Amino acid sequence: MSEHVHLSPLHTISATDAATWHRVVAASMARDLPGVPPPGPEQIHAQLTKPALDSRRLTWLATGADGVPVGVAGLRLFTSPGRDHLAEMELHVDPAHRRRGAGSRLLSAVVSACRAEDRRSLIVEAAADSPGEAFCQKRNFRLALALDHLILHLNQWDEAAVLRVAEAEHPGYRLTGWTGTVPDDLAEAFATAKNAMNDMPVGDLDYGSVAWDADRVRAMAQVIADRGDTLLTLAAVHDDATMAGYTEILVPQGAPPRVQQYDTAVVPAHRGHGLGLWLKAAMVRRLRAEHPGVVEVETDNAEDNVHMLAVNHRLGFRSYRRTREFQLDLPVA
């Protein structure tokens, strides 16, 4: 049965639009991602209205015949050189209104926008074995990357073992940390280390790469602060002042119990010395000290990223859900 669906692009997002968006996303996530806390209305408002780093966003709302919101779609258009072929979609239909064509209508609007913007690759994440996966397959997306999401429960972990790892000596290296923007004396070294993330496994995703410099790392920290979130970073610095590796945790606004792992990277010349494990263990110790209300850390890894998965398992992270990155290849004129 198909439903009359009206699509409206949202050019400016009011607090009411954000609340509507939140209701649809929360209902959709409750169905397909039980146990994953949806972002709060304020977080959604910030995501939809605050500038992102090197990208702009288009948004659509789908309503039914009676004007009731049934679905939302967001499209992130990357603007930096090396990634300006790429667009990333978020698409949710309220479970009460599924299988009536709303998702397909929203996708058509997204694909038209990709064409107008000369994007050759559209990517989207869906839970494994979910309606989202079936929809992507039906709509000619190809599976590009399998991700394992892991969680560390800080009320059921081997704290003493993790602290031993955090406190181990690594001759030639020291740990340093900051909140928000990197200190000026580390900015260049940090940008160089960030470029090491470009060899992260991304499966068959046409993900491109970005070149980091000191201005870009500062801009990223600013974007996060403007959203109201807090970025914690710990870095391992070698005696020769090279940044050998770093790890980042995002504490969302409102101090919820679950935080997100962002990057962890060790630059190739410094791999094989246990620095990744050391950094992550020390970050957990820091979280306990600075954010005692945090009880869960979530991270995701490509299923074939065996080294990072091994590090996470050593720390007590356990797999709890799987997602898939799908890609639609679009012909460009």
Ligand X SMILES: CC(C)(COP(=O)(O)OP(=O)(O)OC[C@H]1O[C@@H](n2cnc3c(N)ncnc32)[C@H](O)[C@@H]1OP(=O)(O)O)[C@@H](O)C(=O)NCCC(=O)NCCS
Footprint on this chain of ligand X (rule: CB under 6 A): 28, 32, 91-93, 98-104, 124, 126, 130-132, 134-136, 138
Nearer to ligand X, 175 or 205 (CB): 205
Task: Tell me the closest approach of the beta carbon of residue 114 to ligand X, in angstroms.
Answer: 14
**Strand duo 243-251 + 230-238: pairing:** antiparallel
Task: Tell me the closest approach of the beta carbon of residue 89 to ligand X, in angstroms.
Answer: 7
Task: Tell me the closest approach of the beta carbon of residue 124 to ligand X, in angstroms.
Answer: 5
Nearer to ligand X, 193 or 328 (CB): 328
**Strand duo 230-238 + 86-93: pairing:** unpaired
Task: Tell me the closest approach of the beta carbon of residue 71 to ligand X, in angstroms.
Answer: 6
Instruction: Say how many residues make up the chain.
Output: 333
Q: Give the contacts of 57 (CB within 8 A, at least 6 positions apart).
A: 48, 74, 75, 76, 77
Nearer to ligand X, 248 or 298 (CB): 298
Nearer to ligand X, 206 or 263 (CB): 206
Nearer to ligand X, 1 or 333 (CB): 1
Tell me how far apart the terminal alpha carbons of the chain are, to the nearest angstrom: 35
Which has the closest alpha carbon to 76: 49, 57, 53?
57
Residues 83, 109: contact at Cβ < 8 Å?
no
Sign of CA dihedral 220, 222, 224, 226: negative
Nearer to ligand X, 90 or 188 (CB): 90
Task: Tell me the closest approach of the beta carbon of residue 25 to ligand X, in angstroms.
Answer: 9
Which has the closest alpha carbon to 196: 249, 261, 270?
270
Task: Tell me the closest approach of the beta carbon of residue 2 to ligand X, in angstroms.
Answer: 8
In the block, which residue shows the tokens 């940044």? 243
Residues 180, 225: contact at Cβ < 8 Å?
yes
**Closest residue to ligand X, Cβ-based?**
132
Q: How far apart are CA 77 and CA 289, in angstroms?
A: 38
